């Protein structure tokens, strides 16, 4: 199976660079660039190392778990950041809307990426995709499933999921609002909450862990964690969790498509190494980098013709929900408000 086709945002500079874990020399030296990212180190470091080897450009990476936008705003025009790399289209659009990014011209990026996977004025670009799937006990017979089914009372006390306020879930909830409206989505959230086997918390792999532990039977989580679990060393916890589950790809009842989100990147507005920043983005959509996204990270490449990892391929054909991601992102705030309204994370 090939990758699917998709047509479907008064401190001194020295102090700021030191606070970012980057020396002032590194921040402005030729042959280097400074990356701020919310991605997990294990997922992005192999790709960055490949870029360094291929280009000779050193990447100084700052891993920012929370508060990326607030940090960049505080640094202002003295920020050493060249590239922002984040998960979730909403987080990317927040950076763009805050005015801390800049549009760039790159024939490579505009040729490789279809219009729906980059902004109209080229100030953000998609790098990989992931879908929100169903983890289910391996012994369950579930040939098909919809996101709406998670709220079915027959699953009462059998559902595990991470916090509703996590960006992965607010994006899914925003998509539900875009499809079915706020009223129906609120009712759905109430139904999912009533079906929870435990508090909505933890991470996606914890869903698989708790299925193995008999706490729940099903849960919503990202696809790429499954590849990491099912290829872990035999006997490790991750391998046990992966072997305990099957993956069923849910769809929305109306569209018949599966919810996807992106990882993406933008060039910082004040990038001191702009040319190198563009080179990094161009590398990240190249065949070698996209192969790493697919076969080291178990994500979906945005470049056509890149073969999926066998674990990912085993999930079957991905039919992407046709709703544009930028349309879904409009409802993120409302999605977050609904999570609080129904007390989903309480």
DSSP state of 62: E
Q: Which two tokens stand for residue 44?
A: 């992005």
Instruction: For residues 190 and 241, state if they share a domain.
Output: yes
Q: What is the pLDDT of residue 22?
A: 45
For residue 130, what is the enclosing H or E element? strand 125-137
Structure letter (DSSP) for residue 264: E
Q: Is the dihedral of CA 123, 56, 59, 227 positive or negative?
A: positive
**Residue 28 confidence (pLDDT):** 42
Taking alpha carbons only, the member of 204, 66, 202 closest to residue 131 is 204
The reply to whether 125 and 135 lie within a common domain is no
Q: Is residue 281 part of a domain?
A: yes
pLDDT, position 326: 86
- Domain of residue 170, CATH code: 3.40.190.10
Q: Identify the CA nearest to 49 among candidates 235, 213, 292.
A: 292
Domain assignment of residue 7, yes or no: no
314 belongs to a structural domain: no
Query: What is the structure's pLDDT at 203?
Result: 95
Do strands 58-63 and 245-248 pair parallel, antiparallel, or not at all (unpaired)?
A: unpaired
Same domain, 245 and 212: yes
What is residue 341's predicted lDDT score, i.e. its pLDDT? 98
Q: What is the pLDDT of residue 143?
A: 86
SS3 314: coil
The answer to whether the CB of 123 falls within 8 A of the CB of 96 is yes
Asked, for residue 230, whether it belongs to a domain, the answer is yes
Specify if 315 maps to a domain: no
Judgement on whether residues 83 and 141 belong to the same structural domain of the protein: no
Whether 111 and 142 share a structural domain: no
Please report whether residue 1 resides in a domain.
no
Query: Do residues 146 and 250 make contact, with C-beta atoms less than 8 angstroms apart?
Result: yes
Mind listing the pLDDT tens digit of every residue in the chain (346 residues)? 444 443 333 223 322 333 444 443 344 444 999 999 999 898 899 999 999 999 999 999 999 988 999 999 999 999 999 999 999 898 999 999 999 999 999 999 999 998 889 998 999 999 999 999 999 999 999 989 999 999 999 999 999 999 999 999 999 999 999 999 999 999 999 999 999 999 999 999 999 999 999 999 999 999 999 999 999 999 999 999 999 999 999 999 988 899 999 999 999 999 999 999 999 999 999 999 999 999 999 999 999 899 999 999 999 999 999 988 888 999 999 999 999 999 999 9
Do 248 and 282 have their domain in common? no
Cα(266)–Cα(268) distance, integer angstroms = 6
Q: Are strands 58-63 and 32-37 parallel, antiparallel or unpaired?
A: parallel
- Residue 170's nearest CA partner among 226, 66, 87, 90 is 90
In a domain, 245, yes or no: yes
Instruction: Mark whether 175 and 250 lie in a shared domain.
Output: yes
User: Is the residue at 346 inside a domain?
Assistant: no
Question: Tell me, what's the pLDDT at 254?
Answer: 86
Residue 237 and residue 202 share a domain: yes
Q: Are residues 27 and 122 in the same domain?
A: yes
Q: How many domains does the chain have?
A: 2
User: Residue 247: its pLDDT value, please?
Assistant: 97
Same domain, 295 and 335: no
93 closest CA partner among 284, 205, 211, 261: 261
Token look-up 């192969």 returns 291
The pLDDT value given to residue 158: 98
Domain match, 204 and 99 both: no
Domain that holds residue 196: 131-258+320-341
Is 36 among the annotated ligand-binding positions?
no
Residue 224 annotated in ligand binding: yes
CB contact at 8 A, 240 and 233: no
Which pLDDT does position 9 carry in this prediction? 30
324 and 199 fall within a common domain: yes
Give φ, ψ of 37 to 5 degrees.
-145, 150
């Amino acid at each position: 199976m090939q990758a699917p086709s998709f047509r479907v945002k008064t401190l001194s500079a020295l102090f700021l660079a030191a606070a970012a874990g980057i020396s002032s020399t590194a921040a402005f030296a030729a042959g280097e660039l400074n990356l701020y990212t919310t991605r997990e180190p294990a997922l992005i470091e192999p790709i960055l190392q490949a870029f360094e080897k291929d280009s000779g450009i050193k990447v100084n990476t700052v891993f920012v778990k929370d508060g990326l936008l607030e940090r960049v705003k505080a640094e202002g025009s003295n920020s050493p950041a060249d590239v922002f790399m984040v998960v979730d289209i909403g987080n990317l659009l927040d950076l763009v809307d805050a005015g801390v990014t800049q549009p760039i011209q790159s024939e490579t990026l505009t040729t490789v990426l279809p219009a729906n996977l980059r902004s109209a004025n080229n100030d953000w670009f998609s790098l990989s995709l992931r879908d929100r799937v169903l983890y289910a006990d391996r012994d369950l017979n579930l040939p098909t499933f919809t996101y709406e089914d998670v709220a079915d009372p027959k699953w009462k006390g059998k559902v595990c999921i991470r916090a509703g306020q996590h960006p992965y879930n607010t994006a899914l909830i925003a998509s539900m609002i875009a499809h079915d409206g706020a009223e129906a989505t609120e009712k759905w959230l109430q139904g999912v909450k009533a079906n929870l086997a435990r508090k909505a918390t933890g991470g996606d792999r914890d869903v698989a862990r708790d299925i193995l532990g008999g706490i729940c039977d099903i849960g919503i989580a990202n696809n790429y964690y499954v590849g990491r679990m099912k290829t872990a060393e035999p006997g490790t916890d991750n391998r046990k969790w992966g072997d305990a589950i099957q993956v069923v790809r849910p769809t929305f009842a109306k569209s018949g498509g599966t919810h996807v989100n992106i990882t993406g990147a933008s060039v910082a507005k004040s990038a001191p190494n702009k040319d190198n920043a563009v080179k990094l983005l161009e590398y990240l959509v190249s065949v070698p980098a996209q192969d790493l996204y697919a076969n080291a990270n178990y994500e979906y490449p945005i470049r056509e013709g890149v073969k999926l990892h066998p674990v990912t391929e085993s999930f079957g054909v991905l039919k992407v929900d046709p709703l544009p991601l930028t349309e879904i992102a409009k409802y993120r705030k409302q999605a977050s408000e609904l999570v609080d309204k129904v007390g989903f994370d309480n």
